[in-house]
A = this chain, B = another copy of it.
C-alpha cells in the first residue's frame, strides 16, 4: 500500500547503505570515538559555522529530548513547550520521567508565541509564590513544528531574546530540521542556528538515516554530557553506525539535497490536494500537510493509501496528515492523485 503516513517509512538513503557496507569490516573503536564519528562531528560543526562547538550523535528524538533537556535543567526547573509539543504529548512522559515538569503554552499552528512566552515568564517572575513553584529553565520548540510549520528568523530571535531576558535557554527539536531548512519559506540556514538558539539537533531518522540525531551545542555541551548520554541508555556501542550515516549526510550537502526532495514532492502533493478541492487544516511550507477529510471518504481512502489520523475535526470530519519524505517520488504523488 502507498504510504504517506510519515517520513520514516523507508530505510536510508542508498549512499548511506553503500558507505556502511564499504566501511563494514574496518575495525573501529566503540562509543563514537571512531574516525567516521569524528569526521561527522567536524563536518556538522563546519556546516553550522561553529567550529568551537560540540556535537553528540544519539539514536532517536525522544531519547535526545529527554537527555538534553534533563542535562540543561537544574533539579528545580522545568521546560516550557507548546501544548502540542512532542515532549508534551507523544513521548510517553520521557521528560517527566527524568523528574522535570513540562509547562504547556497554547500553540498557534504548532508554534509558540513570543508575547505569550513573555507573559508567562513575567507572570512567574512576579509571582510572590514562585519559590513554591517549578522554575522555568528552558524553552523547547520544534522546527518544523508538529504541524509542519516553521518559525521565521525574527520569530526565533524574539523567542530566544525573551528566554534569555528571563534567564532561560532555547532548545530546538530539529527531528525534521532538514525539511525546515530546505523549504522556500525559510529565511535562515543551518549556519544561522548557532545564533538562533542555545542547543538544537539535526534529525537524521526522518531525513534519510536509519536512525540518528546530531545534537549541536554551539558553545560546548553540559559538563560530562558523554556520561549523561550513557546514563540515559543513549550511547551506541557501535557509534560508527551514527558516524558513517552523518558523515555521509554531511558530505556534498546530501542532507539538504534529500530534504529538498521532500519539499518538492510536498509541493506536488499540495497541488494534487487543491485540485481535488480537499480543504487544508492549516498551511504548511514543509513536508507535512494537514487536510480535512469527511469521515466516510476517509475510511474508504484508508483502504488504499496510508495517511496519519491526526485529530477529530467535527462530528463528521477528521484532520489527517500526509507526509512526503527524502524518498518520495513524483510517481507516488501521481498514484495518490488517482486514488483521491
Contacts and interface: CB of A to CB of B under 8 A. Distances in A.
B10 A25 contact: yes
Given A9-B27, A227-B76, A234 B101 contact: no
B99 A101 contact: no
Contact of A230 (B20, B31, B62): B62
A21 B29 contact: no
Nearest to A224: B76
Contacts of A235: 60, 62
A47 B305 CA distance: 35
A139 interface: no
B100 A96 contact: yes
Interface stretch (A158-166, A191-199, A205-213, A292-300): A205-213
Nearest to A25: B10
A1 B29 CA distance: 11
B102 A101 contact: yes
A289 interface: no
Given A24-B14, A75-B70, A132 B227 contact: yes
A81 B329 CA distance: 47
A238 B223 CA distance: 31
A101 B91 contact: no
Interface in A56-106: 59-67, 70-71, 74-76, 78, 89-94, 96-102, 104
Contact of A23 (B11, B29, B61, B94): B11
B97 A63 contact: no
Given A11-B23, A60-B235, A131-B224, A230 B94 contact: yes
Given A11-B24, A17-B21, A236 B60 contact: yes
Interface in A11-58: 11-12, 14, 17, 20-21, 23-31
A5 to B, nearest CB: 7
A129 interface: yes
Interface in A185-203: none
Where chain A touches its partner, the secondary structure class is loop
Interface residues of A, number: 82
Contact of A241 (B210, B233, B306): B210
A234 B135 CA distance: 18
A233 B60 contact: yes
A232 interface: yes
B62 A94 contact: no
Which residue, A205, A211, A240, has most C-beta atoms of chain B within 10 A?
Answer: A211
A254 interface: no
A338 interface: no
A238 B211 contact: yes
Nearest to A238: B8
Given A17-B17, A17-B21, A236-B60, A227 B92 contact: yes
A232 B97 contact: yes
Nearest to A226: B131
Given A62-B235, A74-B224, A75-B228, 8 more contacts: A5-B30, A11-B25, A11-B240, A14-B21, A93-B134, A134-B231, A135-B224, A135-B227
